[in-house]
Amino acid sequence: MSQSIFERHGGFAKVSRIVMSFYDLVLDSPVISPYFADTDMKRLIDHQTKFIAYLMGGPASFSDEHLERVHRHMDIDRRAFDEMVTLLTDTLQDFDFDASDIAAVRNELELRAPLILKKS
């Protein structure tokens, strides 16, 4: 049985470091930092560690309904979503993920774009 991306890359301990590095980039981004102006970052990083782990095939689980509900009020547009995907890609590259693992994580995220993006 093959290991998941989550297992191959060190589990929650490493995913937590990845997410912290990712949010350093997010908070420096003029495109997406405004979405996090009034956010409890400690809580968000904990939540996002579980979400990124989930995208990597880890043990956490997120329903479509949950993803849609928590993002509904945010009015995230495609430009912001794409910036987030780019910053996550950059972070995964910094943590020496290979191209196929990055592509798999990006694909999992793109599959959920309709749940995250604002409704027209």
CB 4 within 8 A of CB 45: no
N residues, the chain? 120
pLDDT at residue 1 tops 70? no
How many domains are contained in the chain? 1
The residue segments making up the domain with residue 30 are 5-116
What kind and span of H or E run contains 46?
helix 41-55
End-to-end CA distance of the chain: 42
Q: What is the mean pLDDT of the chain?
A: 94
What pTM was estimated for this model as a whole?
A: 0.93
Instruction: Report the C-alpha dihedral over residues 109, 40, 68, 11, rounded to 10 degrees.
Output: 40
Alpha-carbon span 25 to 32, nearest angstrom: 10
Is 7 in a helix, a strand, or coil?
helix
Q: Render pLDDT for 75-113 as a digit per residue (tens, 0 to 9).
A: 999 999 999 999 999 999 999 999 999 999 999 999 999
Evaluate if residue 73 carries a pLDDT over 90: no
Query: For residue 38, what is the DSSP state?
Result: T
The CATH number that applies at residue 61 is 1.10.490.10
pLDDT in tens, 47-59: 999 999 999 999 9
